[in-house]
Structure 1
Amino acid sequence: MNKRVITGLLAGTFLALTAPAFAGEAPFAASAPEIPLSSHDRVYAAEQFSNTVSVTDPATNKLLGVIRLGDPQPGNFSPLYRGQVLVHGMGFSPDRKTIAVVSIGSNSVTFIDTATNAVKHTTYVGRSPHEAFFTPDGKEVWVTVRGEDYVAVLDGSTYEEKTRIKVPNGPGMQIFSPDGKYGYVCSSFTPETVVITVADHQIVGHVKQESPFCPNIAATPDGKQVWFTLKDIGKTQVFNAQPPFDLIKTIETGPITNHVNFANTAKGTLAYITVGGLNQVKVFRTDDFSPVATIPTGNLPHGVWPSGDGTRVYVGLENADALAAIDTASNKVVATVPIGQAPQAVNYVPGAVPEGDGKQNLQPLGIAGETVHLTLSKDGRTGADKAPTSISLFDQGLIQILQASVTGLEPKKGYVLALSSQPDGKGALEPLSAFMTNPAGSAIVNAAGPIRQIVQNNAKAERRYLVIAEGSAAQPGPVVQHQVLN
């Protein structure tokens, strides 16, 4: 080998060793540097039944406390109530100093300082907003107003609404191309995703959704692909992030497909998709879309976000009141952190707390940590179903909120969740909630009331059991799922 070749090889080796590693994590561009995981980082989860935002230190995987944005039921029923209701969506500013938290029931976006956990401002928008995110330059905050047909555009400094972008009915979520040129807005009520130029708010592209229910959308850091989930039919679709915005791939992911996000790893850029009905996260390559791993997580995985260096992916477990930490090298859950009730969106914010312990204005979990978890299956036995129905009873004080992640039923058929005095459901049923399954044979079912019995003075109380029956609340039919008894 001649001297010139050897010198070139040595120079190349030196550059490889000394140049910074560029493989930025979502939502930043691939050209952004990785940020090593540390106690300066924070993992935030929006919890819709305790109306809290949990704050976790990823270096220790310990809950530091919660930011309480509202009260539980029935306190939030009062006409004089001023807190937030159904804390659900979340995004953060490019300087990582602010998180924007959407509350669906109170039509609000709450802006919180990441260093102090203090609320800086609350903006009220239209009916039932779902998600909010800052543009990559930080100048605007786009809020999908899912109960209407527009994106509310807020000023990134004053947080006041400055304009609206008309979109197909029921916008579900928005995310931006890493270069800040395009905004991608999927719909929860209309089978269409639109592409909007950030500079002038004009729609320049349309992507057909295979179903009308998209809850989540994400763009790859290299700016080449956009992935969105379809919760009702259990699929994930991928389209070209650049014109002509053509559809690239449709992936069968499973019932109650929730959120998607990406991590840059030694194996390449991987997509992590939460599949609530299977209690799994499914992992796919973004180059050839081949499956990489299936990760059991716990009940009803929902929000998902990577650490600043791609070594971890954090997942909110909606029916387990927990945050699961996945190691991306092994694709296994390495920690589970108890948090508030029914976590929805999850954000990992690198360097959220530059100095200090970052515990100001945090409160203990309190009643938000009091939840009972149950399971239903076809014959009332553990292991009877590959993906049994999971149920959480979230304690609100005198009452409970029940949420069921129902799977394994016939598609597009009416059922009723009920209480029975017999484990097998024989005899009279006390209906709690009637529902219709989606095309994947699954559903998210809610009910509220004094579902857990209060027994005083050693009074003998008849035990009740949860079941699912065919039919309606007025005319329940045969029982198809029974409560699994411990």
Structure 2
Amino acid sequence: MRNSEFRRAAGRLAAAGALVCASFVSLAAHANNIIVLNSGDATLSLIDSQTHQVMGTVPTGKEPHHLFPTPDSRSLIVANSVSNNLLFVDPQTGKPQLLVENVEDPYQLGFSPNRKWFVTTALRLDRLDIYHYAGGAVFTVAKRLPLSAMPSHLAFTRDSRTVFVSLQSSGEIAAVDLPSQQVLWKMPVGAAPAGLWLTPGDKYLLVGMTGADYVAVVDWRNQKIVKQIAVGKAAHNFRSLADGRHVLVSSRVSNTISIVDEVALEKTGEIGDLLPGPDDMELSADKRYLWVTFRFAKQVGVIDMRTKKLIKTIPVGRSPHGIYFYDRAPVMAPNGA
């Protein structure tokens, strides 16, 4: 993928961009915009975090599930899994910047902490694609690694040597060595593993079990499950509370979000009475509000973290999934499925 190819791809966005540019002129001054991906509608919604109003809708490719900012924060990458491409958008306005074609089935995506590697999971193709990253929008394929079945979520170790991948259909997690692009090991963890989270110091790997009602605590160095933390049914995705101690776990069937102490490895609280299918989450810069996408309700919700109550719901498109805040460097691991 060379720069000339990116420029040609960007030209193909001109027509779509012309249709939405006018909507975003007045938004340039806003510093608190939120982007939500509507995977069922092939669009993204732009929401003003202060007024809770949807300020505009932008077409993406088919089935945009997950997103991730570039290391320089100048772009937000939207992975269009069915369209087989990556859409770069302005993280403040949602305006399309660049379209990268021929990226097969990019379901999940993420950069290693050292910014040398860019990784995508091809869930439909049972494959992990590993790229060398040279900055901006310059990727070169290091390896397309077969990895069955249904690779979805990612978590990187702090030293950028290892990426963990959940394999939803086979009930396993895999560890992949990035320098050699080889599978180090696989291990069974339970029914439909989904979100992954590394505890402080990379001591344990937490795995959300969507086919069950617990988080598996994995001693990944010894490939052993050391504990199960009971949470809601269909435990799915994680989001840090940004306090160095607690992580949130969304459960898509019980419609709850659990608060887990990632040091003591125990559940300490729960947020209930939510809409169907809580999935991806993001925390406001002041840590006061948690925003949640409800996959099965066509809604985004705002939770007051002081009262642990859902205080606002905002209609968006079908199957809202990934969510991104412009007003901060987000506490972001790759979002879940």
Amino acid at match of 2:218: F
The CA RMSD measured in Å over matched residues stands at: 2.7
Amino acid at match of 2:256: Q
Distance 2:171 2:231 in 1: 18
Q: Using a 3 Å threshold, how does the CA distance of structure 1 residues 194 and 350 change in structure 2: closer, same or farther?
A: farther
Residue 215 of structure 2: which of 236, 256, 273 is its match? 236
Q: Counterpart in 2 of 1:360?
A: none
Structure possessing the higher radius of gyration over alpha carbons: 1
Distance 1:221 1:308 in 2: 21
The gaps in structure 1 that reach 5 residues or longer are 1-37, 70-83, 353-486
1:286-435, aligned counterparts within 5 Å?
A: 286-288=262-264, 289-308=266-285, 310-351=287-328
User: 1:203 and 2:180 equivalent?
Assistant: no
Q: Counterpart in 2 of 1:93?
A: 70
Give 1:188 deviation, angstroms: 1.5
Q: Counterpart in 1 of 2:238?
A: 260
Q: Using a 3 Å threshold, how does the CA distance of structure 1 residues 334 and 160 change in structure 2: closer, same or farther?
A: farther
Residue 81 of structure 2: which of 104, 114, 121 is its match? 104
Residue 271 of structure 1: which of 247, 263, 274 is its match? 247
User: 1:167 and 2:144 equivalent?
Assistant: no
Contact conserved, 1:40 with 1:351, CA < 8 A, in 2? no
Contact conserved, 1:46 with 1:89, CA < 8 A, in 2? yes
Q: Secondary structure at the match of 1:215?
A: strand
Distance 2:157 2:322 in 1: 20
User: 1:52 and 2:43 equivalent?
Assistant: yes
Give 1:187 deviation, angstroms: 0.6
Give 1:299 deviation, angstroms: 2.1
Q: Using a 3 Å threshold, how does the CA distance of structure 1 residues 281 and 175 change in structure 2: closer, same or farther?
A: same
Alignment coverage as a number of residue pairs: 296
Q: Counterpart in 1 of 2:10?
A: none
Give 1:186 deviation, angstroms: 0.8
Post-superposition Cα deviations, 1:286-319, rounded to whole Å, max 9, x if no partner, equal 1221331233221221212333454432210122
Contact conserved, 2:41 with 2:318, CA < 8 A, in 1? yes
Q: Counterpart in 1 of 2:22?
A: none
Q: Using a 3 Å threshold, how does the CA distance of structure 1 residues 162 and 327 change in structure 2: closer, same or farther?
A: same
Contact conserved, 1:144 with 1:173, CA < 8 A, in 2? yes
The gaps in structure 2 that reach 5 residues or longer are 1-28, 330-337
Amino acid at match of 2:222: P
Identity of aligned pairs, percent?
A: 17
Q: Counterpart in 2 of 1:125?
A: 103
Q: Using a 3 Å threshold, how does the CA distance of structure 1 residues 192 and 342 change in structure 2: closer, same or farther?
A: same
Distance 2:182 2:285 in 1: 32
Give 1:349 deviation, angstroms: 4.6
TM-score, length basis structure 2: 0.77
Contact conserved, 2:218 with 2:226, CA < 8 A, in 1? yes
Q: Counterpart in 1 of 2:12?
A: none
Give 1:221 deviation, angstroms: 5.6
Q: Secondary structure at the match of 2:248?
A: strand
Contact conserved, 2:41 with 2:317, CA < 8 A, in 1? yes
Distance 2:223 2:311 in 1: 37
TM-score, length basis structure 1: 0.55
